[in-house]
Chain A
Amino acid sequence: MSDHDQGHHHGFLRTYVFSTDHKVIGVQYAVTALVFLFFGFCLMMMMRWQLAYPGHAIPVLGDLLPKLFGKDWGETNMAGGVMSPDLYNSFGAMHGTIMIFLGVVPLIVGGFGNYVMPLQIGAPDMSFPKLNMASYWVYFTGGVVMLASFFAPGGAASSGWTSYAPLSVTATQGQTWWLVGMVLLITSSLLGSVNFIVTILHLRAKGMTMFRLPFFVWAQFVTSFLLLLAFPPLEAAGVLQLMDRVAGTSFFMPQGLVVSGVVQDYAGGGSPLLWQHLFWFLAHPEVYVLILPAFGIITEIIANNTRKPLWGYRTMVYSVIFLGFTSFLVWAHHMFMTGMGTSISAFFATTTMIISIPSVILLTCLLITLYRGSIRFNTAMLFALSFLPMFAIGGLTGLPLGLPASDIALHDTYYVIGHFHYVVAPGTIFAAFAGVYFWFPKVTGRRMSEKLGKLHWFFSFIAINVVFMPMFFQGLAGVSRRLYDQTLYSWGDAMQGWTITSSWGAWALGAAQIFFIVNFFSSIKLGKRVTENPWDATTLEWSAPSPPPHGNFASVPTVHREPYEYSVPGMSTDFFPQNVSEA
């Protein structure tokens, strides 16, 4: 990242570590998040061994980890190389927490949003550069707290990523660390979302009206509102749970609770359901925080690689706004099993059916965009294209979960795991990969290898379906999602073959990422050099140099048209950039 332009010259620390440049912060977010994604995935690959071969020592790691973390740790957590049930529980909780709050959201919002959004609107930086830096470092601290919690007495949080009370209140110390970490992560996303909204409203270049914004920017805009308004209630809930754990209050503790035969010393009068309401009031909008930026990324890539204007740009914008509003009204469909009453269930089932409509509109618009396009099948496009059926599977399998009658049978089975992973893993994470391949030339000035990229896509695509497709079969057969060893039950044992299949799929998926890791690092130094606009794209980020200097644009761009003017009749090129005045 050249920092010599416009007379800005700082030392190494100010340029790369405590930088206020949105591009450096974006890269910091993206790299940190990719590391956390890999770490969270490693936790899962170890859990998959226990699931597939319960009671067998984990190869290599079963030996290595006790040596690494000391004898005491090994005896409590990995006696004989076998993962203990407590360690399994904490890995499960931390896998979910890390993947969502430290991996996916920081990657697609903090990383892509920070880097690409200001460039796409023609801004020199974010509105509040120092706040932006603070947001990253608060996130980073939250991540460190979460990682440190693995070494707390009793291990990391082990009450699931949902931290349902009263289980979480009576859990070991790791849960307190988890809450502190969450408060930091929430604060970080709050600072970020204020910055995003103000930047999008205030720093658009001349001529960049709201309906000329690239769809990616719209997705980030709506996402920021979700982060801004949905996260604080979880912060409130986090504070209440912290009080329950530290000050002995009983917000979530009912009267006369008995744990392991011991009556708990709480005044009582609290409500465990209250936690679920406050938690899901965040966590359902959170689902759209995970999916909307992903939609934004693949929309850019699909429009660019079909060489056609987006079909139904305005419809998509209205849909994404509607999705944002509605996402606040569906949370209790996670709670049909709690016995809220049929009329409340009916309300939330109805809103849940309604919210599927704009999602289907988004998908349909993208599908119609493909029709009669002359599609370029590069790696970014392959990932973006596979997003469409994968998200569709994830979304459609969600419908039976949105209806109380079918949800009661499927709740807490592997079916649910399959459903939301199809949305987030081959959905959002594939979109994130697509984004990495697409914007890598802008960030580094070099292309990633297409050959390695296609291998990465091919093996990932097959492996990820091997991981998650069997979960639907298992779930329909009634296998519970939280079992340490399902072979102990006859109905679980009958489905063990699918567990083993799924596990091998996960390890194959891990192996397929080697292509990506090698490609990513080698291309930084060895990739083919590119000019400012390697994909013949129309949006503003491609009119800045690759990589863009401090301050982004050589001269302030003026916007003359809508974002996806591809294949305009009568032009010599098949793309008409937003900043070019006349042909």
Chain B
Amino acid sequence: MALLEVDDLRTHFFTREGTVRAVDGVSFAVEKGKTLGIVGESGCGKSVTALSIMGLIPKPPAKIVSGSVMYEGSDLTKLSERELEDVRGREIAMIFQDPMTSLNPTLTVGTQITETIRRHYDVSQKQANKKAAELLEKVRIPRAAERLLDYPHRFSGGMRQRVMIAIALSCDPKLLIADEPTTALDVTVQASVLDLLDDLRHEYDMSMIIITHDMGVVAEAADDIIVMYAGQVVERASTLDLFDNPEHPYTEALLGALPQIEGANVRDGRLTAIPGRPPDLIDPPAACRFGPRCRYAGSDDCTKHEPQLREIRSGHWVRSAHPASERAGSRKPQEVGS
């Protein structure tokens, strides 16, 4: 059963220049105990999707204009600010990209962890401190008890992200949303943070949404993936099926544009760049939003009708008139084994 179900979510920003359709018809589900990866490039709406789930979008200018976010039977978009506060942190926690700015520099790390604990649980400061020390140990910060008294500037980037994870875990959330959790980190630090998240997810029996621009990160961390482009989900599948048989021309192009460290034609082949750039979300193309950059575009289906997200085979959804397996002369999708 799904823990979280997002249906046709639309979050628009009403600005002087016009209405920015940042999230424009996003649907997905997060299963219990699973990790969903959301990938896409800057401005595709992946972070706004996460903030909309958490009720953290700035209103105004932003507004959820339609759709629902069902979490354990209640629609989060309909909750009052007060009710949302009980969900945030306690049920759904979030960690952000930049561990340098998401901690308060004027408070000790201990204070920042215990304030979340005491907001949601009726415990004494002493009990909260004890729990905070345990949490820092869980995220593998050495000399945990002493370090509670330190200010954030005494921690490196990777260590700060661990502190953020400790705060996120402090109230045993059922869902953890990680928005580009390792983007600001060096590659070796990124690897250890991803390993940590993976361990904790099992230990705490959490579901996770991991938002990233990095195809490598979702390949390693996610069970299921949605690919976003210009505010919409363009493809949704299990991780293995998505990488084995990408259907949407954008997903295919994105994988072709990616430099790799191993495998054939690493050096000799040119990268298959995607021409142009993503559309302006104030005035996106009327029909297919990827159309102007798509090598298969051209038919009326591309320019006249807006493609809908449809299930092309069991569990694999795509929003395109020309998915790979339907194009002339295309090979049959590979069998997905495990």
Is chain B a partner of chain A in the same complex?
no
